[in-house]
Amino acid sequence: MKKIIFILFAFISIATNAQDFHALVYFVDKPNVATSLANPQSILTQRSIDRKMRHNIAIDDRDVPMNQIYVAQIKSQPGISYKAQSKWFNCVHVVGTTTAIDALASLPFVSSIDYTDPTKSASVSNRDKFANMVTTPLVYGTARNQIEMIGLDDLHNTGNAGAGMLIAVTDSGFPNVDINTGFAQLRNNNGIKGTWDFVQRDNSIYEDNFHGSRVLSVMAGNDPNNFEGTAPDAGYYLFRTEEGAQETPAEMSYWVQAAERADSLGVDVINVSLGYLGFDNTAESLDYQDMNGVTSFISQGTNVAFEKGIIVVTSAGNSGNSTTHPYVASPADALGAFAIGSVTDTRAKSSFSSIGPTVDGRIRPDIAAQGSATASIDESGNLVTTSGTSFSAPMISGAMACLMQAFPNLTPQQIIDAVRASSDQSMLPDNLLGYGIPDFGAAQQTLSSVSFNTQDFNYYVKDKTLFFNTAQGENVTSFQLYNLQGQQVIKKATTQDGFIDLNQVSSGLYLFTIDQSDVTYKVVIR
């Protein structure tokens, strides 16, 4: 049965029926699912397939493309403005009046319609999405402080500067990256692997808001003898998902579509120097109760990206000075997000850096890096400093890619666990800086001294049941499930049936171990 989720008080509906709303329209099915899964090369790049195999991640129906005939029919409906589509969720994002959107329910291939909730309090004020960005002339050598602060120089000195890794940068535009001298090394090394503007649906990304160019420079910029990014040898996909001049729910759908593209291309890390809370139409805004890791569409997409084996590094947000909402914004609340706070060049918390916890009590941010006066290169090629968690995030995105280069067979969760453990508050994390400032050199040393079990172990969750299989001749005899606070949720002996009943476990992201293995596996329970 089709459902339309639209909670609205009667006295409001009369006044707003002619107003345009954002909605997600879900489809009933996908074409050729069995054929596509039997021939994964037809829907994913070989690199993406290899990454999933390396981390024992199943290729499933979420990887199968949508029915474009359905999409075309949606686009042709009167009063409907198409914005984006998501193969992971088998839906399209549209804008229109309630009358026009409700009419879509009569189409035989539409299973449900989910409106952006218009009953949210209008007290959530819209914010400057790129707040706390102050540009000043750069003193020679300032870039070294931010790199040495997180021990990344030690990792670079062992030859790990991101070679062979792919980073997707999702932002508001990348003006002059194609001609800026600060990216000459990146271009000369063929480091730009692909581009796309998901807002305008074209390839013109070297324009629009300067924000993305400066974010990219923190990772990929180079000024000989004066500046070096955190992952200068990595390859980059540049995706525009953000409209700098306005704030609407469609931007979350643009981002999900970009994340799906990144997954299909085999990307290792996605940098998200963006955050969503207040929208131009305040009735559609998110609030603190939505910061539970699973409500906003961009957080849902972040969770799937993490399930698919991608490390999603997000800005914690710049609302730390707010008296109404000093907390993280989506997708930093996502279960699968690695949220980054900001510190000054003296390792003190930046006043603007958003804090935790999430509404369900999880620690945020995860860790922190220098986001006050972060050395960067502007859109004209000048060495500058810029402030905001938008710039502490790429510090970590690049560093994570370097650590993944050093340990390509480890899972994203193992990499994240090592970075958390290396951080200076790892023994006593808080909701100001999370686990603290990491030491990537120490994380490398720790991982080099640990032996990981790489046996063939595959698993998946369906209907709150964990199904698994191991290498031939192996039996799983014990199972332990932990929440993200490290608390044991389940400990039980297993049977030879190959499954664990998780019906008594609340929805969320969990970690589990089997037998006496050192390997930690991640699992999302819905």
Catalytic site positions: 171, 211, 390
Sheet order of strands, 166-171 included: 192-197, 235-240, 166-171, 269-272, 311-315, 337-343, 367-370
Task: Give how far the C-alpha of residue 82 lies from the chain's centroid of Cα atoms, to the nearest Å.
Answer: 23
Terminal Cα distance for the chain, rounded: 21
Select from 219, 220, 262 the least CA-distant residue to 241.
262
**Strands ordered across the beta sheet of 465-470:** 457-462, 465-470, 499-501
Maximum alpha-carbon separation in the chain: 67
Do residues 284 and 117 make contact, with C-beta atoms less than 8 angstroms apart?
yes
Angle at 314 between CA 310 and CA 319, to 5 degrees: 165
Mark out the alpha helices in 271-310 (DSSP H runs): 297-307
What are the tokens at 474?
Answer: 């192996």
CB 270 within 8 A of CB 236: no
Instruction: Count CB-CB contacts under 10 A for residue 97.
Output: 16
Q: Is 302 in a helix, a strand, or coil?
A: helix
Helix (H) or strand (E) holding 166: strand 166-171
Omega before 249 within 30 of 0, i.e. cis? no
Q: 24 has which bridge partners? A: 93, 114
Compute CA 282 distance to the chain's CA centroid, rounded to the nearest angstrom: 24
CA distance linking residue 416 with residue 411, whole number of Å: 9
The helix/strand/coil state of 192 is strand
Cα 399 to Cα 415: distance, rounded to the nearest angstrom: 11
CB atoms within 10 A of CB 444: 22
Contact of 258 with 298, CB cutoff 8 Å: no
Angle at alpha carbon of residue 233, lines to 400 and 520, rounded to 5°: 25
Alpha-carbon distance of 2 to 88, in angstroms, equals: 20
CA torsion angle 165 192 337 199 (round to 10): -160
From the centroid of its chain, how far is CA 33? Answer: 26
Helix (H, G, I), strand (E, B) or coil at 14: helix
